[in-house]
Chains A and B, each alone.
Chain A
Amino acid sequence: SQKIEQNSEALNIQEGKTATLTCNYTNYSPAYLQWYRQDPGRGPVFLLLIRENEKEKRKERLKVTFDTTLKQSLFHITASQPADSATYLCALAGGTSYGKLTFGQGTILTVHP
């Protein structure tokens, strides 16, 4: 069966360091992969999308990589700040199921001052 795993339930880092979150998947051929941010008591907010034919995407302090051979995506936040503390979700969409996303369980990131 299709499976998505974000292999750290929680990640704690010091302010200014780079946070790296991992998303692995099995039995899946995604057309694209997305990362969302979710704050407590709120809905997820879209951050970045990377397609199957792309290796890397950047947006300000955020960087996403996508390795379809390893079936893995890495999400990096450089120069992390306490305001980056949140739950980060990865989500995959299959090519024939337009828009239907399958989400990982999320990683809780805490950035300590």
Chain B
Amino acid sequence: NAGVTQTPKFRVLKTGQSMTLLCAQDMNHEYMYWYRQDPGMGLRLIHYSVGEGTTAKGEVPDGYNVSRLKKQNFLLGLESAAPSQTSVYFCATQRTDTQYFGPGTRLTVL
């Protein structure tokens, strides 16, 4: 079992470009989350989903969109990237009270 995987691992964008980060899980978990991690800030919740076809805003949703068309995939989109979105992005799934994190995507916006 791969658990939680994230694609890509690294990406460099120019300001204004768009991209989609993919999170995939093979654990059949209903709940999925997108976080960003910045130095000294801890993990902050961007968006989350409680099941296929559902999404909801987290703490820092501005500038991001998400989709959960299939249970196993949770996509995070940046329509027009800004330097403030330079960060490490983590996806997580949840079973009962435990979250399982992916390896992260390091995104740099120039």
**A residues engaging B (CB < 8 A)?**
4, 32, 34, 41-46, 49, 89, 91, 93, 99-106
Contacts and interface: CB of A to CB of B under 8 A. Distances in A.
30 contacts: A4-B42, A34-B97, A41-B103, A41-B104, A42-B104, A43-B4, A43-B90, A43-B92, A43-B101, A43-B102, A43-B103, A44-B43, A44-B90, A45-B101, A46-B98, A46-B100, A49-B97, A89-B42, A91-B43, A99-B31, A99-B33, A99-B48, A99-B99, A100-B48, A101-B45, A102-B45, A103-B35, A103-B44, A105-B40, A105-B42
Interface string B23-39: 00000000101010000
Nearest to A31: B97
A106 B48 CA distance: 22
Contact of B98 (A43, A49, A100): A49
B32 to A, nearest CB: 10
B97 A42 contact: no
Given A32-B97, A100-B58, A43 B104 contact: yes
A93 B40 CA distance: 20
Nearest to A45: B101
Interface residues of B, number: 24
B68 to A, nearest CB: 15
Contacts of A104: 42
Contact of B103 (A42, A49, A91, A102): A42
A104 B37 CA distance: 11
A83 to B, nearest CB: 20
Contacts of B100: 46
B73 interface: no
